[in-house]
Chains A and B, each alone.
Chain A
């Protein structure tokens, strides 16, 4: 079994500031992938960033970057230069090789304030 924990139900940040969303996970697998998905108020989920567990280098995607600490089973998302369009619910997810399906955290609702 695998679990994903997002300990921050809600967060807010001022526009142009930086915010970090936390995520911890537990899995018995060695091969897995980690994802951050964004669900804006319009409701469609979209991929923000992905990290292969076997890679030590943290993934980055423009203003989005992760801090992947494999030993600690931590996978936080940093959003730099926050924009109003970043307001959304963010889900952390883990995908392992055996099950082929993802487990999602409970989500963090992020509000970017002007």
Chain B
């Protein structure tokens, strides 16, 4: 089955640090990747949609200068949390859709637990 690798799985860092999270589709090409934020026992909140070769589309209320997204290839998208602060601590999940079609299910990474001290 389709595999999405997300790295790192856990990050603990000081306030003011920038953190980069990678999302790779290992055995399929993904023209579209999604970045979500999830709080404990809550649903996934879509932050942005990442399209290969073009600018990401951010959801309302998500600061694009705070959460930088780069989708440089059909298998890699990165999310950089710039100058992270404690309120950015959360679980971040990426997912990718096979380029086979918009109606394909999303394949999810394992998530990244970000803790800002």
Interface residues of A (CB under 8 A from B): 33, 35, 37, 42-47, 50, 52, 89, 91, 95, 97, 100-102, 104-107, 109
Task: Find out whether the CB atom of A100 lies under 8 angstroms from the CB atom of B108.
Answer: no
B103 at the A interface (CB under 8 A): yes
Q: Select which of B41, B43, B91, B107 is within 8 A of A104 by beta carbon.
A: B43
Bound CA span A17–B42, Å: 26
A-B contacts, 26 of them at CB < 8 A, read A33-B103, A37-B108, A43-B91, A43-B110, A43-B111, A44-B109, A44-B110, A45-B106, A46-B108, A47-B105, A47-B107, A50-B105, A52-B103, A89-B41, A97-B102, A97-B103, A100-B32, A100-B49, A101-B34, A104-B44, A105-B43, A106-B42, A106-B43, A107-B41, A107-B42, A107-B43
Bound CA span A37–B102, Å: 17
Known: A105-B43, A107-B42. 15 other contacts (CB 8 A): A43-B110, A43-B111, A44-B109, A45-B44, A45-B93, A95-B102, A95-B103, A97-B102, A97-B103, A101-B46, A102-B46, A102-B106, A104-B43, A106-B43, A107-B41
